[in-house]
Structure 1
Amino acid sequence: MTKEQQDWLDQGFFLPDLCTTRAVFMLVVLAELFVLILVLALPSSMGFDWNRLALTSFFVQWVVLASAGCLCRVRPLIQKTQLGYALAACYSVVLIVTLLFSLIAEWVIYPTDWGQFWLQLDTWHIAKNLLVALIITSLLLRYFYMQQQLRQQEQAELRSRLQALQARIHPHFLFNSMNSIASLIQISPEKAEQAVEDLAALLRACLDEVAAKVTLADELEICKQYLRIEKHRLGERLQVDWKLEGVPDSLPIPPLTLQPILENAVYHGIQPLAEGGTISIAGQYDSQYLTITVRNPLDAAYISEPKRGNRMAMRNIADRLQALYGKQASLSAKQEGAGFVTQLSYPC
């Protein structure tokens, strides 16, 4: 099974991985809190019974950890089954473990020979243990199921939001690219044909099924195709300086994140300048955060009155980064002297 298939199963299955360090820690804490409440609720004329707390904690922790370990082992087997069968398997594992440790506890506390053990067995005490285990398991499974449903709903809403945000970029990009091609038809039909091929490749990439993330290599290829289209129109006025050494191409990035920034750099920076200019794209990766900085020169008219389209594109990109990474992502766009600097950063 591939990693992608395993991730899909994990997202669609209600039972979390109970073998992780965080899950084990939470189970131990919750079990101890349950024991403390149980001991405090029992009447005692001698004050707080530390011996009862120790014995009950020892018993409950063994049941909880053993049940978690068994569920962790059977989880891959029940992931593909129907919900009813998965629930039955979870209940069976917990009840069998509880029964086993209840019998062991009876044997340790009241040691006797094998024949007398079954005759003197406190069945009501074991039944109470099984009933408590059944109730606690039901509450936890219900909680896990509701959490899984909430995660699926949040993921569906996130996909819808990303699709809506990405759809806002597609028409804007298409119209600008068509205008570029139209300006090339009479000047250079060969370049116009090459631009149409680049645009077709871009549209195929844009019209594919929307993904939350693509690789940096895919996003850079889209950017280079776009810049080739603009290069046909602007000629030597458009220069590009790539500084991405040391940044892995396999890093994830939201699709069509960098391309609109370069589009703004071309239309609001290079195009108004008679002499053109250079767009600089620099990347930095420190094993935790990916930071990409885009610099472009500015026309004096833009400096005095910024264009609204630039702000709209930046807001769309900021919304997408916020939807995926929350407050850990940042996007800044500011004027520096006679140039404009856009920087995005997010955790990888």
Structure 2
Amino acid sequence: MSVNPITDDNFYLPDFCTPKAVFLLVIAAELLAIVLELAGSGAFSWTQLALTSLFIQWVVLLSAGLLCAIRPSMVSLSPSFTTAICLLVCLTVTSAFTLLAVFLITNMSFVWQEQNELLIRNNIIALIISSLVLRYFYLQKELLRQKQSELTARIQSLQSRIQPHFLFNSMNTIASLISSKPEQAEQAVEDLSDLFRASLDDASILISIGDEIALARQYLGIESLRFGDRLKVTWAVGELSPQTQIPRLCLQPLLENAIVHGIQPDSENGEIIISVTEAENLNLSVSNTLPGIQNKPENNNQIALINISDRLQALFDDKAKLVSRTYEIEDRSWYESRITIPIQQTEMVQSIRRAS
């Protein structure tokens, strides 16, 4: 059952109002009715099963409905108070339907137990089942929170390894611009500061695609000061949703890889093409010219690509992927790195992080 992402960290009760939750409750209630009927001392009776099933379904669904109605007011309560209220609701509904069933079935052909014994029996069953279910929800919440904590630590560890190698080159470029072009030098210092702030930020693992593109543009702005006309950059950005988020610093390391292994060793002019599109998947592609087929990045450096791939695997499992290839266009070697992330997976990760 889905957990409402707006809940408090200690609130473990799921939302029973969702269609999926109602379906699971109906199935679970029917299975319980079958088990109780099979465990009975008498012979199996379809009539008895139908009545037991009707009784349990009404108890379960009405209890779920009441808990759904009062759920927002319980968000700030401790787990023990939440559990006590849930058990009280379940036992109250069970008692009410037991008395109603006794009143309606008194004149039927088969005989039910005495009223007091039946109340005790049904309430004990309801207490045991409700306690087990609530315990399951609580452990599920704790497990989710533990997994999220481990995931956050792992992502932050991987992210902290991102140390842009262009630091000293950038500082030399800035130093050379201070006297001749102080405005460009000041802008380069601000861009460099933003990049390192993003690299060292442990508070936010995900970042909006717009902010990620902005960081990438700042990085390329610094590198353009160093390479000048040797570097040609082409952007192809489609229509993007501002709510779409990706792991922080996915695009910049790909650009750094393109600079280090494609543009820097090339004595001729080089080109980088960045493509960002969004449909069912979010696709980020970085293509760069190579100085020669023998200088493929995959033979020189895999650190940046492995780092990004590990972070994608930690967040999205096998749903997201990073692939790279070398190809030729008009006797020029190109290298492409492409990241693909399903949009639904990014929304799911955001919900889980907000819920934890």
The Cα of 1:8 is off from its aligned counterpart by: 4.9
Confirm whether residue 320 of structure 1 aligns to residue 286 of structure 2: no
**Alignment-derived partner of residue 336 in structure 1:** 327
- How many residues matched? 329
The Cα of 1:73 is off from its aligned counterpart by: 1.2
Match runs of 1:28-39 below 5 Å: 28-39=26-37
CA distance in 1, matches of 2:67, 2:130: 12
**Alignment-derived partner of residue 156 in structure 2:** 163
In structure 1, the residue corresponding to 2:317 is in which secondary structure? helix
Residue pair 2:283, 2:340 contacting (<8 A) in 1 also:
yes
The Cα of 1:332 is off from its aligned counterpart by: 0.2
Note closer, same or farther for the CA distance 1:157–1:193 as it changes in structure 2 (3 Å cut).
same
Residue pair 2:16, 2:64 contacting (<8 A) in 1 also:
yes
Residue pair 1:237, 1:277 contacting (<8 A) in 2 also:
yes
The Cα of 1:302 is off from its aligned counterpart by: 4.9
Match runs of 1:1-348 below 5 Å: 7-9=5-7, 12-45=10-43, 48-110=44-106, 122-169=115-162, 172-173=163-164, 175-186=165-176, 189=179, 190=181, 191-286=184-279, 288-300=280-292, 302-303=294-295, 306-309=298-301, 311-337=302-328, 338-348=333-343
CA distance in 2, matches of 1:301, 1:31: 65
| CA deviation vs aligned residue, 1:219-240 (integer Å, no higher than 9, x gap) | 0111011111100000011111
Residue pair 2:29, 2:57 contacting (<8 A) in 1 also:
yes
CA distance in 1, matches of 2:173, 2:115: 91
Relative contact order: is structure 1 or structure 2 higher (C-alpha 8 Å, sep ≥ 6)?
Answer: 2
CA distance in 1, matches of 2:296, 2:240: 36
Q: TM-score, normalised on structure 1?
A: 0.89
Q: TM-score, normalised on structure 2?
A: 0.87
Identity %: 41
Note closer, same or farther for the CA distance 1:132–1:188 as it changes in structure 2 (3 Å cut).
same
| CA deviation vs aligned residue, 1:247-285 (integer Å, no higher than 9, x gap) | 334311110011100111111111111222221111222
Note closer, same or farther for the CA distance 1:306–1:205 as it changes in structure 2 (3 Å cut).
closer
Q: CA RMSD in A?
A: 2.1
User: Which runs of 5 or more residues in structure 1 are unaligned?
Assistant: 1-5, 112-119
Residue pair 1:12, 1:152 contacting (<8 A) in 2 also:
no
User: Which runs of 5 or more residues in structure 2 are unaligned?
Assistant: 108-112, 344-356
Residue pair 1:19, 1:72 contacting (<8 A) in 2 also:
yes
CA distance in 1, matches of 2:268, 2:241: 34
